[in-house]
Amino acid sequence: MTSSNTLCSADNALPATKRYSGRDFSAGELASIRALIADNPTCTRAGLSRLTCQALGWYKADGGLKAMSCRVAMLRMQDDGLIQLPAPTGERPQSRIEFTPQTAPQEVIEQPANRLTPLQFCPVVHRAHSRLWNEYIHRYHYLGYKTLPGAQLRYFVTSGEQILALLGFGASAWQAAPRDNYIGWSHDQRKAHLHRVVNNARFLILPWVRSKNLASMILSMAARRLPADWESRYHYRPVLLETFVEKNRFAGTSYKAANWTYVGETRGRGKLGPSGRQSVSIKDMWLYPLTRDFRSTLTQ
């Protein structure tokens, strides 16, 4: 009788290297991960990802463990039959987001952007603010709420006591041909410096806010504000912003007005999609350099 662990037994031949989550794993490292799982039979998937990061020395630029990237990598390793993770039972599922009166639709605000200034950027730092940000995004953004990967910053944009918009920034895409060609970096340079590229993953102006030029004004202010906030939290300074705009929904007008640069469209593969096949919608990619010498920083 064949056990469920047969595919992941130590006798199975391992590939010389496999690439997951932007990192190459050698056969020896894959064998170490198998052994780590076997030696910790009661450990959760989250716990195993932390142990794996420690064993392999996989850290973020700020010194923290790359646990989320590791979890994604280990799930893909399991899909490829290289390891066998424990069942996900016992781990806390992502809480279901309930809509509350706090995020209910409000009266229309119809004013030009200069009448709403000064705008304030309020970083999300408290748990209550985090729940409110998640609720707004899940209720009104077409992509809904999903946990932002890796290092991240989220903001409310307010005018007085009124919330007008929300922004979310997180880890950049592992690979994106339009961006990579624009930067001109090598495979090794991308591995070394990818953390200095930050993705504008969410941008939402609340549906009752109708203000000409507000979106481009917010994007311009965010580009000036984010580098110092990011450095304060993560102890390094990003040099380039990226974002993906779904072609069938938006034209990227606000990004263009805020002096972002259009660099091309994606192939529709997605972060975890199969190579050579479209699995998600085609998106336009826009970039915004935060420093004049961003290329020299990213191609060191």
Q: Using 50, 70 and 90 to split pLDDT, how confident is the model at 96? A: confident
Q: Using 50, 70 and 90 to split pLDDT, how confident is the model at 271? A: low
Q: For 117-149, what is each residue's pLDDT tens digit?
A: 899 999 998 889 999 999 999 999 988 888 887
Round the average pLDDT of the chain to a whole number and report it. 86
* Confidence (pLDDT) at 275: 53
* Confidence (pLDDT) at 215: 96
* Confidence (pLDDT) at 167: 97
Mean pLDDT of 30-42: 87
Mean pLDDT of 16-39: 86
Report the alpha-carbon distance of residue 22 to residue 242 in Å, rounded. 17
Whether residue 246 contacts residue 280, with contact meaning beta carbons closer than 8 Å, is answered with no
Helix (H, G, I), strand (E, B) or coil at 198: strand
Mean pLDDT of 193-208: 95
Domain ranges of the chain: 6-79, 101-298
Q: What are the percentages of helix, strand and coil residues in the chain, rounded to 5?
A: 35, 20, 45
Q: Using 50, 70 and 90 to split pLDDT, how confident is the model at 39? A: confident
Report the alpha-carbon distance of residue 51 to residue 43 in Å, rounded. 10
Report the alpha-carbon distance of residue 281 to residue 266 in Å, rounded. 9
Whether residue 179 contacts residue 218, with contact meaning beta carbons closer than 8 Å, is answered with no
Superfamily of 101-298 according to CATH: Gcn5-related N-acetyltransferase (GNAT) (3.40.630.30)
* Confidence (pLDDT) at 248: 81
